[in-house]
């Protein structure tokens, strides 16, 4: 399971199962493991980062987890999702709802 999928699942964001809906296509949605999710846009990533900072959560990001020495948009997405997944258990119900609202 990818970190982004885990983030969406933690937040309770509903996915569309492609297998059940045939060749469903929704513009801008991303396909992960046979499901369609709302896109994890740069705007959402910035809002998530602001959420972490504004709520004074501590997250240490480790680029070596994803390998290589070049920082790519994909690595930023995975690293950010990983960081939120790491602190998910310590978020309040209200904070979890805030994250869900950002992702939807």
Where are the domains positioned within the chain? Answer: 3-103
By the 8 A CB rule, do 36 and 29 touch?
yes
- The strand order across the sheet containing 30-32 reads 16-17, 35-37, 30-32
Segment 26-45 mean pLDDT = 78
Which tops the pLDDT comparison, 94 or 21? 94
Burial class (CB in 10 A: 0-12, 13-18, 19+), 28: exposed
Q: What is the pTM of this model?
A: 0.76
Residues paired with residue 35 on neighbouring β-strands, in sequence order:
17, 32
Q: What's the pLDDT score for residue 20?
A: 59
């Amino acid at each position: 399971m990818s970190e982004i999928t885990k983030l969406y699942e933690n937040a309770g964001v509903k996915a569309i199962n492609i297998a059940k809906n045939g060749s469903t296509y929704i513009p801008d949605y991303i396909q992960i493991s046979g499901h369609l999710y709302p896109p994890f846009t740069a705007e959402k990533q910035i809002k998530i980062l602001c959420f972490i900072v504004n709520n004074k959560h501590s997250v240490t990001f480790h680029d070596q987890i994803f390998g290589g020495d070049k920082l790519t948009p994909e690595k930023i997405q995975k690293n950010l999702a990983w960081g939120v997944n790491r602190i998910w258990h310590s978020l309040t119900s209200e904070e979890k709802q805030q994250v869900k609202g950002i992702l939807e």
